[in-house]
Amino acid sequence: MMSLLISKFLLVNWLCWLSLLYQPLFSSADDTIDPIDYDGQFLIEQDALNTLSAELGGNYWNLEGDDCHFYDYDYDYDYGYGYDYDYDYDDDDDDDDDDDDDENNDYDYDYDYDYDYDYDYDYGYDYDYDDDDDYGYGYGNDTALNRTLSARMNDHCEWCGVTCDNSSNLVLELRLNGEDLKGPIPGKIGDLQFLEYLDLHGNAGLNGTIVSEIGEMKALKGLYLQETGLSKKIPKWIGSMAGLQILNLFDTALTGSIPTEVGKLISLEFINLSGTSLNGTIPTEVGALLNLIRLDISNTLISGRIPKEVGKLSSIESLSLFNTALTGSIPTDIGNFLDLTRFDISNTKITGTIPTEVGKLLNLTKLDISNTTILGTIPTEVAKLKRLESLSLSYTTLVGTIDTDIMSLISLTSLSLSNTLLNGDIPTEVGKLTNLKVLDFSGNDINGTIPTEVGNLGKLQKLDISENYIFGTIPAQLNNTKLTSLNVGGNYLTGRIPTELLKLPSLQALNLTNNRFYDKLEDILDADSPNLVEINLSNNIIHGTIPFSRKEKKNKIEQIYLDNNCITGTIPKNIYFLLPLVKTLNVSQNNGATDRTKCEGLNNDWAIESCKDEKIDNKAKCQREVGGGLKGTIPADLDNLRHLQKLDLSNNTLVGTVPIRIGNVQELKVLLLNNNKLRGTLPVQLARLSSLRDLKLFNNEFDPPAPLSLCNLNLLQDSDLCPPERTSLNTFYKYAKGNNWLNNTKWTEEYIDHCLWHGVTCNKEGSVSSLNLTNNGLSGFLSSDIGDFPSLEKLLLTDNRMQGSILSEIDKLSSLKDLLLSYNSFTGSIIDLPMVLDSLELQSNRLKGDVTFEASNKIGPFVSDCGSPSRFKEVLKCETCTHCCNVKNECEEKSKKDVKLASRELVLLVSVITVCTCVITAFVSWTMRNKYLVDPRILHKIEDKINLTGQGSVYVFFRDKTYAGWVCALSVCCIQLFTLLTFSDAAILEFENENSDWKYWGKCLPDGDGCYFKNESLRVGWIIFAILMSVEVLFDLMKGFYLIVHVPRMVHFSFHTTHCQCSDIQFYHYY
């Protein structure tokens, strides 16, 4: 038996070894798998993550344990559409920063449905508290590897946001969302070859492009780069990521068009490109994405038609194309989207009709075609969409009546058909929509009455049927709803306001404006409206008085509009008890200003009480006069309305003064008191209202002027209360640093007329005619308001420290005659002055360019820095100026230039005449040398005299017997002439010539009294100089002429004796 067992054991072992020996022979080449160097890849990935941490500034995300900032997002991609409309009438807590000022009574009916486009993907935050001491929150890190804690401190698999495979430790997920990463994505990220999910969204500092190394990550399934600063185009290599299932580039700075290579992403299920600057058209290759579930290109610049290839996306569930430039019509292939739940093409240029194929979308829950040019009628096929929860066809050109078949869509929670061309009645079948929360039929041509069946809508929160032709009364059945907002304004409704409606505990906003409701104000405000925030009763026949309250009401009213009604009486002193939280209070135009007939004959208690002592004949007239409009004064303790932002009491008959304490209402933005009978001086405390941006006080009886600080707010448009010139002068005061002036008397007093300010002179009409602030310590700059003085004749700012440029606004001073800006520090190019000036002083500034103006017939002066040397390379030019000054503040009359130039020309003329005379004389003497016979004895005397005269004279060269001597003599004469002209040029006044030796002898002082010159006292010196020079030059000229006349008679002379046979007399002939 034992031998049998041993034999059996040996046989089995032999077979096992045989199978191992021949196993390669039976294996195919395809079964060969390259082994993965896990340890080497572990180090490569750790190095890549260290690079990311260093270059992206995320040194804190490579932490572990309790220091982690991340959670285990389960990313089940349900996209969380939610459709949780924000029905709470602008009290939505969604940080949309809605402005509730409502200054134009638009009441902010914005219906911001809050579609929850936050793409939160149902993260879940399912913390993994598995008590296995791995310090992780559900990252799945396997602690069975029995690493020590010290070793794990260097293990990147323990870092926050890093998820590794349990067995191989290869990085599978990297989620660094919202960690303030900055800079471009490092190329090292490509070393994470086995990464399946890369999430860097929510890092606004992440910039640059989508690096190509991401395209080499073939295992990548999810790429989340939304809400980053990535820019430029979507790379074409994106098509190489065949395994990519999720691509989210929402809210980035990407530009360009959608690459056609997107069509190669055959595994893609989710693509979000919304909120980018992508343009171009939708590529037809999108039709190849057969697995696509969601496509979102909303809020982009995408244009063109929807390609028919989109109809191939049979798996699509959500198609968001809103807020784009798409054109054309809705393709009929939309009927192929059998799984489509959400279709939003609102706010586009789509036209045509709604295709009947939309009736095939049986799974559709939201259809939004609003803000398009869709026309025609609502197709009956829409009634087949039984799962439809939200239908919006607002702001289209749809016509016809409201189809009763739509009222069979009992799943509807929101139905918006506003601002179309629909007409007819509101169908009574609307009562079947028991799940309805929002019903909006506003801005149509609907008539008839409000059906009582609306009361069956127990879940209704927002009802808007405003701006139609509806008549009748408000049905009391509305108290069965959960209304938070009711808007029936702009219709023809009448009767009283149902008390039950006012008591609705959920009602927050009630708009009944522009109807014919007839009710008493006391009854309305005494109703118990616990949550009512806004009530608009404007332009009705609401009458009575504002009720007096002895204790503080607990209402929440913040905005109340009572304008254009028939309210009478006074404003109660303790109105803050009645409206403790009010922000907007509008009781304007209650004096019948817009429609006097609706208040005539109104027998209210106030009119009867006020006219009870009148005679019977006058009682009716008295009641008509008293029966409309607020009377009395504005309560002094109005500052107890601490939250008040807008107060409109205009167009009433209020009297008295504006209370001082109104300046304590710091949140007040709008104050309208115009068209009353208020009087007195305006309190300076109004200027303390730092938030005030609209103030109207005209058509009252206030004492001018208004406080200077109030006028400085530039809110009052009343020229009597705030003269424009007074405000402009105050602006000039601030720019010129008036607090540092030597004399600023009355410039800062609140109620003083500006004509009494120091340096200001006004004409008989009260307009500023002169501004003289010479030598007053002005600094700073000219304000642009300097041109706001049409009657200004004198602007005198000499001898200050004004800087900056001379503004072009000075051109507007059409009456200006005297402009004195000298001795300041003005810079830049001078402006052209179109007016005719009597005087102009611009010297001692740093101006350049050309000064152009028209001078009057008066003397001036007209002075600028047109002298030399100058501060600039090019001297300031001023052709019309009478005086020029240089950088040394030395000045000279420009008329002297013409005189000196004439002297120069005279010297040149005399010199030329002298030379010409000498040459002509020499030439004549030369030509007549053979015509004279001279006695040799006389000749010797002439020669001796020439020798004596020629000593020291430059003209001695004329004695030379050669042509070279004559050339030398004439050259000397030319040199002398040139030298004379050079000295003459140096002494001539040329304002543009910096090499001129002319000395400036004048000063234009900064006192504005003109220019002074000293050169007139030097005339005697010039006369003596002229006499001495004339004597010296005349003596030398006489000797020269003598030489010129007689020298030719000696030149080339030779004695030649001729014996005449008829006489013994000898003749001497000279050649």
pLDDT tens digit string along 533-543? 999 999 999 98
**CA distance linking residue 883 with residue 963, whole number of Å:** 53
Query: Are 866 and 884 a contacting pair, CB within 8 Å?
Result: yes
**CA distance linking residue 364 with residue 360, whole number of Å:** 9
Band (891; pLDDT cuts 50, 70, 90)? confident
Cα angle 761, 762, 767 (rounded to 5 degrees) comes to 140
**Among candidates 423, 442, 447, which has minimal Cα distance to 110?**
442
**CA distance linking residue 516 with residue 471, whole number of Å:** 10
Residue-level pLDDT at 483: 95
Q: Which helix (H) or strand (E) holds 19?
A: helix 2-22
Q: How many residues does the chain have?
A: 1071
Instruction: Report residue 559 CA to chain centroid gap.
Output: 31
Task: State what percent of residues in the chain have pLDDT above 90.
Answer: 51
Instruction: Report residue 3 CA to chain centroid gap.
Output: 103
CA torsion sign for 606, 607, 608, 613 is: positive
Q: Where are the alpha helices (DSSP H) in 542-683?
A: 575-578, 605-610, 616-626
**Among candidates 736, 798, 793, 745, which has minimal Cα distance to 770?**
793
- Largest Cα separation within the chain, whole Å, is 199
Strands of 469-472's sheet, edge to edge? 375-376, 397-401, 421-424, 445-448, 469-472, 492-495, 516-520, 541-545, 566-568
Cα angle 537, 541, 547 (rounded to 5 degrees) comes to 70
What tens digit of pLDDT does each residue of 802-861 get?
A: 999 888 888 889 899 999 999 999 998 877 888 889 989 888 888 888 888 888 877 678
Q: Residues 612-633: what's their mean pLDDT? A: 64
What tens digit of pLDDT does each residue of 666-675 get?
A: 999 999 999 9
Task: State what percent of residues in the chain have pLDDT above 70.
Answer: 69
**Among candidates 252, 244, 177, which has minimal Cα distance to 209?**
252
Residue-level pLDDT at 550: 77
Residue-level pLDDT at 1046: 58
Q: Give me the phi and psi of 869, to 5 degrees please.
A: -70, 155
What tens digit of pLDDT does each residue of 899-917 get?
A: 444 455 556 666 666 666 6
What tens digit of pLDDT does each residue of 479-527 get?
A: 899 999 999 999 999 999 998 899 899 999 999 999 999 999 988 988 8
Residue-level pLDDT at 970: 73
Query: Are 159 and 62 a contacting pair, CB within 8 Å?
Result: yes
What does DSSP assign to residue 279? B
CA distances from 616 to 448, 622, 628, 758, 869 (A): 44, 10, 20, 62, 95
- Beta-strand ranges (E) seen in 89-135 are none
**CA distance linking residue 451 with residue 285, whole number of Å:** 51
**Among candidates 655, 732, 721, 636, which has minimal Cα distance to 687?**
721
Count CA atoms within 13 Å of residue 922 on its CB side: 23
Q: Residues 290-314: what's their mean pLDDT? A: 95
Query: Are 54 and 47 a contacting pair, CB within 8 Å?
Result: no
Residue with the bigger pLDDT between 610 and 176: it is 176
Residue 933, pLDDT > 60, answer: no
Residue-level pLDDT at 534: 96
Q: Give me the phi and psi of 446, to 5 degrees please.
A: -75, 140
Query: Are 839 and 820 a contacting pair, CB within 8 Å?
Result: yes
Task: For strands 318-320 and 342-344, give the pairing.
Answer: parallel
Least confident of 313-317, 474-478, 1002-1006: 1002-1006
Query: Are 807 and 830 a contacting pair, CB within 8 Å?
Result: no
The pair of three-digit structure tokens given for residue 277, joined into one six-digit string: 């600057």
Q: Residues 629-654: what's their mean pLDDT? A: 92
Indicate the residue type of 47: D
| Structure-derived torsion over alpha carbons of residues 121, 122, 123, 129, reported in degrees to the nearest 10 | -160
Q: Residues 1062-1068: what's their mean pLDDT? A: 36
Q: Where are the alpha helices (DSSP H) in 638-703?
A: none
**Among candidates 818, 868, 809, 859, which has minimal Cα distance to 841?**
818
**CA distance linking residue 602 with residue 544, whole number of Å:** 10
**CA distance linking residue 921 with residue 919, whole number of Å:** 5
Q: Where are the alpha helices (DSSP H) in 465-615?
A: 499-502, 521-526, 575-578, 605-610
**CA distance linking residue 192 with residue 176, whole number of Å:** 15
**CA distance linking residue 882 with residue 1002, whole number of Å:** 12
Burial of 374: CB neighbours in 10 Å, binned 0-12, 13-18, 19+: buried
Q: What is the mean pLDDT of the chain?
A: 79
Band (974; pLDDT cuts 50, 70, 90)? confident
The pair of three-digit structure tokens given for residue 992, joined into one six-digit string: 């543009």
**CA distance linking residue 708 with residue 688, whole number of Å:** 12
Residue with the bigger pLDDT between 127 and 665: it is 665
**Among candidates 520, 514, 521, which has minimal Cα distance to 492?**
514
**CA distance linking residue 69 with residue 633, whole number of Å:** 62
* pTM, entire model: 0.71
Strand partners of residue 376: 398
Burial of 316: CB neighbours in 10 Å, binned 0-12, 13-18, 19+: buried
Query: Are 792 and 724 a contacting pair, CB within 8 Å?
Result: no
For the chain, helix (H) and strand (E) counts, in that order, are 14, 55
CA distances from 943 to 595, 946, 959, 1067 (A): 128, 5, 10, 19
Least confident of 24-28, 49-53, 649-653: 24-28
> Which residues 6+ apart lie within 8 Å of 948 measured at CB?
none
Least confident of 242-246, 410-414, 889-893: 889-893
Query: Are 776 and 742 a contacting pair, CB within 8 Å?
Result: yes
Residue-level pLDDT at 131: 37
Residue-level pLDDT at 561: 97
What tens digit of pLDDT does each residue of 681-694 get?
A: 999 999 999 999 99
Band (160; pLDDT cuts 50, 70, 90)? confident
Q: Where are the alpha helices (DSSP H) in 230-360?
A: none
**CA distance linking residue 159 with residue 156, whole number of Å:** 5
**Among candidates 732, 830, 824, which has minimal Cα distance to 786?**
732
Q: Which helix (H) or strand (E) holds 979?
A: helix 963-986
The pair of three-digit structure tokens given for residue 973, joined into one six-digit string: 């004469």
> Which residues 6+ apart lie within 8 Å of 603 measured at CB?
623
Strand partners of residue 586: 561, 648
Helix, strand, coil in percent for the chain, rounding step 5: 30, 15, 55
**CA distance linking residue 289 with residue 267, whole number of Å:** 7
Q: Residues 357-379: what's their mean pLDDT? A: 96
**CA distance linking residue 349 with residue 623, whole number of Å:** 58
**CA distance linking residue 168 with residue 155, whole number of Å:** 13
**Among candidates 709, 794, 724, which has minimal Cα distance to 760?**
794
Residue 862 three-state SS: strand
List b or e across 52-89, with b for residues whose CB sees 16 or more CB atoms inside 10 angstroms. Answer: bbebbebeebbbbeeebebbbbebeeebebeeebbbbb
**CA distance linking residue 253 with residue 230, whole number of Å:** 6
**CA distance linking residue 366 with residue 81, whole number of Å:** 10
